Amino acid sequence: MKKWGILTVCLVLAGSLLAGCGEKNKDQASVSDNGKAEGKTIVLGTSADFPPYEFHKMINGKDQIVGFDIEIAKQIAADMGANLEVKDMDFKALLAELSSGRVDFVISGMTPDENRKKEVDFSNNYYKAQQAVVVREADKAKYTTMKSLEGVSFGIQTGSIQEDIAKTIPGAKITGLGKINDIIMQLSSSRVDASIMEKPVAEAFIKNVKGLAIANAVPDYQEDGYAIGVKKGNKELVDQINKTLDRLNQEKKIDQFVSEASDLAASK
């Protein structure tokens, strides 16, 4: 009986180890020689309050995260033979989640500036957009130049390029917020006077929120465009993402995704 008990324990332990290995292989990343991540779930980190890039939309009675960044992420996952999981969080938390390994890549209208490059690696750029100043429609005539915005109160997304732009405006009073939706609420309720956003984002919101407008003042800011963030040192994933981006650009798919997402963001 003693020998049988030991054998049983050994068999149970062996089975547990094999089951554990199987579960690990199911969940964790492993890119094979052909670039495929078979049986893998790849996790995207994003801040889904940035239409038409990424945003929540009720479709067939179900809340879904959509947008052209999400379509790009789906293409990356498909090219890798992986399932896509999307995690929605504050923009300012994205790089920390990426560095910790809790997400595999970040797509969220993110500019690969020098400070961010110290923390994470980036893909090639995939899109570039202009900046815009959003104000209440009744105040639009006040803000025709950037000088007219001096001393004004701004609602700005924390950790964004727009925060850097606002800091260059003399006397600007900046309220940092995690979500664009919160900024829109602050602007609509007159708690702040203006905000700086990507022009496609601004256009999407003013189509859906009455009483807002894009001012004639235009931020004088040159940027390199947007890129996809990956944990520092993960060259294999960066290369795989760049392959997908090259294909999408050749097929003119990104422009198509932008157009479709803009229409979706503007629809009721």
In terms of Cα–Cα distance, which of 25, 29, 152 is closest to 82?
Answer: 29
pLDDT at 268: 67
d(CA 133, CA 130): 10
In terms of Cα–Cα distance, which of 41, 32, 88 is closest to 65?
Answer: 88
Instruction: Please report where in the chains the tokens 């309720």 appear, as a residue.
Output: 189
For residue 233, name the pLDDT band (cuts at 50, 70, 90). very high
Specify the range with the lowest mean pLDDT, choosing from 4-8, 160-164, 165-169, 235-239: 4-8
Q: Tell me: the pLDDT tens digits for 168-197?
A: 999 999 999 988 889 999 999 999 999 999
Q: Tell me: the pLDDT tens digits for 136-160?
A: 999 999 999 999 999 999 999 998 8
pLDDT at 220: 83
Beta bridge partners of 226: 127
pLDDT at 105: 98
Q: Tell me: the pLDDT tens digits for 45-75?
A: 999 998 889 999 999 999 999 999 999 999 9
Task: Find all residues with CB under 8 Å of 190, minimum gap 6, and list them.
Answer: 136
Q: Tell me: the pLDDT tens digits for 81-94?
A: 999 999 999 999 99
- For residue 234, pLDDT beyond 80: yes
Beta bridge partners of 135: 194, 213
pLDDT at 2: 34
d(CA 237, CA 230): 7
pLDDT at 20: 39
For residue 32, name the pLDDT band (cuts at 50, 70, 90). very low
- For residue 231, pLDDT beyond 90: yes
How would DSSP label each residue in 175-199?
A: EEES-HHHHHHHHHTTSSSEEEEEH
More confident: 5 or 96: 96
Beta bridge partners of 21: none
pLDDT at 13: 38
Cβ proximity of 219 and 129 under 8 Å: no
| Strand pairing category for 120-122 and 229-231 | antiparallel
Tokens, residue 53: 């890039």
Task: Find all residues with CB under 8 Å of 72, minimum gap 6, and list them.
Answer: 107, 126, 228, 244, 245, 248, 254, 257
Name the most confidently modeled range: 13-22, 34-43, 223-232. Answer: 223-232
pLDDT at 21: 35
CB atoms within 10 A of CB 13: 10
| Phi then psi dihedrals of residue 78, to 5 deg | -65, -40
Cβ proximity of 241 and 230 under 8 Å: yes
d(CA 165, CA 134): 14
pLDDT at 23: 35
Could you tell me the domains of the chain? 39-128+225-266 (3.40.190.10), 131-214 (3.40.190.10)
Instruction: Please report where in the chains the tokens 């797509």 appear, as a residue.
Output: 107
